Amino acid sequence: MSERDLELPRPRALVLTAGWNLTESIGLPLAAYAVGARLGGQDAGMVAATVVVWLTAAVRKLAALPVPGLLLISALVLTLQTALVVATGSELFFLLQFPLADLALCLVFARSAPTREPLLAQLAAEVVALRQPSSRHPGLDRFFRRATWLWAGIFAVSTAGLTILLAVEPARTFLVLTTVVTVGGVALGSVWSGVWFASVLRRFGLRIRFAVQPAGAEAS
């Protein structure tokens, strides 16, 4: 791989890699929540989702496979939410789980931002299997650190916004607005990060290419 190239898996492998990571971290817990909630109510659904995500991490460990950062984030957030909901049984604490989850995400991103392995770089490597040049590129390092700070800021703003909404809106309205704020924040952050990443590539003359298919792979 060239010193000015970043590499992604070929499109089919890219979809499979991203899909598998999202299934482990989001799909399986959601399915477990749906089944648990149907059989035993909301608390049972939260517990089921948390158990499934930690079991997934444990299976990876037993199989000597790495545990992706997205899976660990999902486990952390679900554990916090489940502890609040099950331990208190209070509607207020059930609603409070949403700004607290965003606060936890803010702290996770902020903690990793100044390190040599900012969380956004880890997620790019794990979720879409992005391979950077063999020698670290200072421009890319700065981008991933600053973009990780960006996501910490997005979750900080979301935490503040949801806390204000919790104080002034009824529960039903708050739950609707929580979805709007969360989806909107993630969409904004994704677009912003993508445009920023593209500008960094152009500035430093870097390129993204798909991995070369091994000889004979197509025939097999």
| pTM above threshold 0.85 | no
Q: What is the pLDDT of residue 134?
A: 67
Q: What is the pLDDT of residue 6?
A: 85
* Side-chain half-sphere CA neighbours of 25 within 13 A: 19
* Cα–Cα distance for residue pair 145/110, rounded to 1 Å: 9
Q: What is the pLDDT of residue 4?
A: 65
Q: What is the pLDDT of residue 15?
A: 87
The DSSP code sequence of 15-31 is: HHHHHHHHIIIIIHHHH
Average pLDDT of each block of 10 consecutive residues along the chain (220 residues)? 73 86 90 92 90 95 90 90 81 82 93 93 89 80 95 96 92 89 91 94 87 53
Answer whether 142's CB lies under 8 Å from 135's CB: no
Q: Is the dihedral of CA 6, 10, 16, 19 positive or negative?
A: positive
Answer whether 212's CB lies under 8 Å from 9's CB: no
Look at strands 207-210 and 5-8 and give their pairing. parallel
How does pLDDT run across 45-101, given as a tens digit for each residue? 989 999 999 999 999 999 988 888 889 999 998 998 888 888 877 777 778 888 998
Burial class (CB in 10 A: 0-12, 13-18, 19+), 95: buried
Helices (H), 169-212: 171-204
Q: What is the pLDDT of residue 213?
A: 60
Q: What is the pLDDT of residue 102?
A: 93
Tokens representing residue 203 in the block: 């500035």
Q: What is the pLDDT of residue 81?
A: 85
Answer whether 67's CB lies under 8 Å from 57's CB: yes
Q: What is the pLDDT of residue 198?
A: 92
* Cα–Cα distance for residue pair 101/185, rounded to 1 Å: 14
Tokens representing residue 122 in the block: 């880890």
